[in-house]
Amino acid sequence: MGLFKDYLNQTRRPEGLLGKLMLAGMNHGHARLADWGMSHLPAILPEQIVDLGCGGGRNAASLLQKYPHAHVTALDYSLQAVEKTKACNRKMIAAGRCEVVPGNVRDLPFPDQTFDLACAFETIYFWPGLADCFAQTARVLKPGGIFLICNESDGTDPTGRRFEKIIDGMKCCTVDEIETALKAAGFSRCICHHHARRPWIVILAQKQ
């Protein structure tokens, strides 16, 4: 399982050749999940959006398309992911509608109350100390701002549990665990949608 495990561990922080392969796979393999997650966003018109853990950049591109008057800031702590996202969104960066920055969710490099919408697709599995990371997210959201979390695992499915044993530092949290951490971080309303046939979840939280 050596090479396969090494490849799967690139989901956490893509680096090197395997990281390039993983990032390309993310853009394709997570597209349906991400689109399903975005379909649950309420009727809002955000001006400033942040994509936390932007991976290969496909979701940032989708947000730019969904909200044609918004500016999207994409962040990842993998420098390889940052470069991939820049390549994926080159035209929007040149047009001044997108910025891609390196950073860590435990200490977000943004001023307070910057964004109307924050998104985290397939990434909170690797956030150390969810309440602290969620508190950082709440800090950079404006009052009433929305935080969307979209996961392929609901924390109870066999596949997610199996990957936890293979991928270092991965934790598939349940809806209850996520909502508890969100409320501890200062989010008031939490709404969860569960896919009818898959263990996919999307959670929408609003800052107080």
Torsion of CA 105, 107, 108, 114, to 10 degrees: 120
The CATH superfamily holding the domain 2-207 is Vaccinia Virus protein VP39 (3.40.50.150)
**CA–CA separation, 148 and 37 (whole Å):** 8
Q: Are 20 and 81 in contact (CB under 8 A)?
A: no
Q: Locate the domains of the chain by residue range.
A: 2-207
pLDDT of residue 8: 59
Q: Whole-model pTM?
A: 0.92
Q: Write out pLDDT tens, residues 8-25.
A: 556 666 666 665 666 666
pLDDT of residue 72: 98
Task: Give the C-alpha distances (Å, rounded to integers) separating 89 from 2, 28, 45, 79, 93.
Answer: 34, 15, 21, 15, 6
pLDDT of residue 206: 97
The single-letter code of the amino acid at 165 is: K
CA neighbor of 78 nearest in space, from 118, 25, 126, 35 = 126
CA gyration radius, the chain: 16
Task: Give the C-alpha distances (Å, rounded to integers) separating 77 from 105, 157, 199.
Answer: 8, 27, 27
CA neighbor of 81 nearest in space, from 101, 111, 61 = 101
If 0-12 CB within 10 Å is exposed, 13-18 middle and 19+ buried, where does residue 94 land?
exposed
**CA–CA separation, 125 and 152 (whole Å):** 10
* Mean pLDDT (10-residue bins), the chain, 208 residues: 61 66 70 96 96 95 97 95 95 98 96 98 94 97 97 93 85 95 93 96 95
Q: Is 157 helix (H, G, I), strand (E, B) or coil?
A: coil
**CA–CA separation, 203 and 183 (whole Å):** 12
pLDDT of residue 21: 67
pLDDT of residue 116: 98
**Residue bearing tokens 């993310």:** 26
